[in-house]
Chain A
Amino acid sequence: MEIAIFLLFAGVAIVSAANILIQRHPIYSALSLIVTFIALAGIYLQMHAEFIAVMQIVVYTGAIMVLFIFVIMLLNAGAEQRVPDKVHVVKYFGLPLAVLFIVETGLIVSSSFSNEGIAVESASINLSGNTQLIGKALYTQYALPFEVTSLLLLVAIVGAIVMAKKEL
């Protein structure tokens, strides 16, 4: 049962991720990416990473993708034109190399972690309500990276304002 749920979420994530590449209009790509993010949030929820799952929904689909869609609509971006002669190398070598990369990763992964499993039911490990533990880790062990993150966000705010100025 749990593997069926996992395969459902993984299939939705992969198919909608592939749909990003198939669609020519950026707004359809953005909507497919939102579906991928929500499917990934389902996978996180199944792994008992509730905090990450909620963050995925709130930050990625709620903030970042809304910003993307806002920019796409603001710039009135149309569908991508086909470029006839520039993408031949990518077309003939890119896809086989991508498939080769996936197969290679699959072989390595299956040889290293062949019969190890993740207990989806948290019977052995008590991590079911782990948001409190993440908060504690953020403010004790990872206090310095946490503060550096706030500095990074400050720099991003200043950078976004500079980018949005009239003359650049």
Chain B
Amino acid sequence: MIPLGFYLLVSAILFTIGAFGFLIKRNIITMFMCIELMLNAVNLSFVAFARYYSLLDGQVFVFFVMAVAAAEAAVGLGIIVALFRNRQTLNVDETNLMKW
């Protein structure tokens, strides 16, 4: 028996690392990877709760989250390539055209 709290704690730690990395990293690709890490942390919570309540709905939700993550990665990396082609940089601090 592994307590449910362990899974939720691991999930919280991974989510916090992802959110923290999103804030401190300046490379847009690394920031994007931190978003993927946050999605995975939430997936872990979903699967743990699905197991805990012995329902399958949590795993179905994880399936949908993965589909959204795949779509997001395709479009987001397309945006990053287009951005790099126009600005020749991956640093988000230099991409401040719309910053007031």
Q: Are B62 and A156 in touch, CB under 8 angstroms? A: no
The size class of the interface chain A forms with chain B is: 35 or more
CB-defined interface of A132-148 with B at 8 Å, one 1/0 digit per residue? 01100110001001000
Q: Which of B12, B25, B54, B59 has its CB near the most chain A CB atoms (within 10 A)?
A: B59
**Interface size, chain B (Cβ < 8 Å):** 69
Q: B78 → chain A, closest Cβ, in Å?
A: 3
Q: Are B36 and A60 in touch, CB under 8 angstroms? A: yes
Q: Which of B5, B19, B80 has its CB near the most chain A CB atoms (within 10 A)?
A: B5
Q: Are A83 and B90 in touch, CB under 8 angstroms? A: no
Residues of B within 8 A of A74 (CB): 81
Q: Are A138 and B4 in touch, CB under 8 angstroms? A: no
Q: Are B59 and A49 in touch, CB under 8 angstroms? A: yes
Given A164-B82, A168-B82, residue A152 in contact with residue B12 (CB < 8 A)? no
Residues of A within 8 A of B (CB): 2-3, 6, 10, 13-14, 17-18, 20-21, 26, 29-30, 33, 36-37, 40, 43-44, 47-49, 51-52, 55-56, 59-60, 63-64, 67-68, 71-72, 74-75, 77, 80-81, 83, 86-87, 90-91, 94-95, 98, 101-102, 105-106, 109-110, 113-120, 125, 127, 130, 133-134, 137-138, 142, 145, 149, 152-153, 155-157, 159-160, 162-164, 168
